[in-house]
Amino acid sequence: MTATTFRIGGDLGVRRLGFGAMQLPTERGPAREASLRVARRAVELGVTLIDTAHLYGGGANEELLAEALYPYADGLLVTTKVGVARSAESGEWGLDGRPEVLRDQVENALRRLRVERLELLQLHRIDPEVPLADQLGALRELQTAGKVGRLGLSEITVAELDEARAIIDVASVQNRYSLLDREHESVLAACEAAGIAFLPWRPVAGAASGASAAAAEITAVADELGATPAQVSLAWLLDRSPVVLPIPGTARIDHLEENVAAADLRLTPAHHDRLDRLDDLGRPGRPAERA
């Protein structure tokens, strides 16, 4: 039977099916109120892993989650990411792994999330303009100071993972990955071998588009199981490896409930065989947005 929980870093237990908060609107008004309800409903449904980042509204998403969920339920992990900043000159977002920027974003995340320690912090992207040792060294210093519990990375290669592991203990990797987009298969394999949590973002991409033979096959499997294409995609991910912790995002409670229910969906060996072959039918193009 597929395990429903995983211990990040070997000791931080969470339910494997999490929630990505990126899509939640944060502007004042009805949309924000709806976002608060979605975040609270996720916890009510038993979600214990929620993903956010400084990039999502320059910290506004972190503040939204704190407003919705603080004081946090026992066992709830809200993980955030740093390393992308808005230029003071152009106003555009870009990679910024300078140690002083990372330290500032961590301090702001602690304040916004109303915690004294971030149990899991991920480097949003590796900045090629800053030595990796400097970026991870700054985060390791924050870890030593007790402000960060565990460290992870996002959108990395196997070579970058190996380099990072020579500097820090890597607890998690957050790469783009789904039933129809398996570009980072080798990274997942490396994480599985090392017991590192693998958080796929955009985990249901293309599943319900109906624009490809692969999407049509997912829909066919879903119809046979009385499920939705998104649920089939999430169930496949949960079965794919015990280190996979999908973080599907939505701003709608009905979609949230649909996603969470995927944890109870059981695929037969025949369904697995059909779905495993779908990567050969073509994968969607690389998305422009960052998770």
Domain map of the chain by residue range?
5-208+234-265
Which of 79-88, 182-191, 274-283 is predicted with the least confidence, judged by mean pLDDT? Answer: 274-283
The per-residue pLDDT for range 111-150, each reduced to its tens digit, is 999 999 999 999 999 999 999 999 999 999 999 999 999 9
pLDDT score at 109: 98
pLDDT score at 212: 80
Say whether pLDDT at 89 is over 90: no
| Threshold 0.85, pTM exceeds | yes
pLDDT score at 280: 56
Residues in Cβ contact with 10 at an 8 Å cutoff, skipping those fewer than 6 apart: 195
Q: What is the CATH number of domain 5-208+234-265?
A: 3.20.20.100
Residue 237, φ and ψ in degrees, nearest 5: -65, -45
The per-residue pLDDT for range 186-222, each reduced to its tens digit, is 999 999 999 999 999 999 987 766 568 888 999 999 9
Residue 82, φ and ψ in degrees, nearest 5: -135, 165
pLDDT score at 208: 67
Say whether pLDDT at 283 is over 60: no
pLDDT score at 288: 39
Query: 106 or 288: which carries more pLDDT confidence?
Result: 106
Which of 71-80, 202-211, 248-257 is predicted with the least confidence, judged by mean pLDDT? Answer: 202-211
Active site residues: 56
Q: Which residue has the tokens 């870093």?
A: 9
Pairing of strands 5-8, 12-15: antiparallel
Q: What is the mean pLDDT of residues 151-160?
A: 98
Q: How many CA atoms lie within 13 A of 216 on its CB side?
A: 5
Say whether pLDDT at 67 is over 50: yes
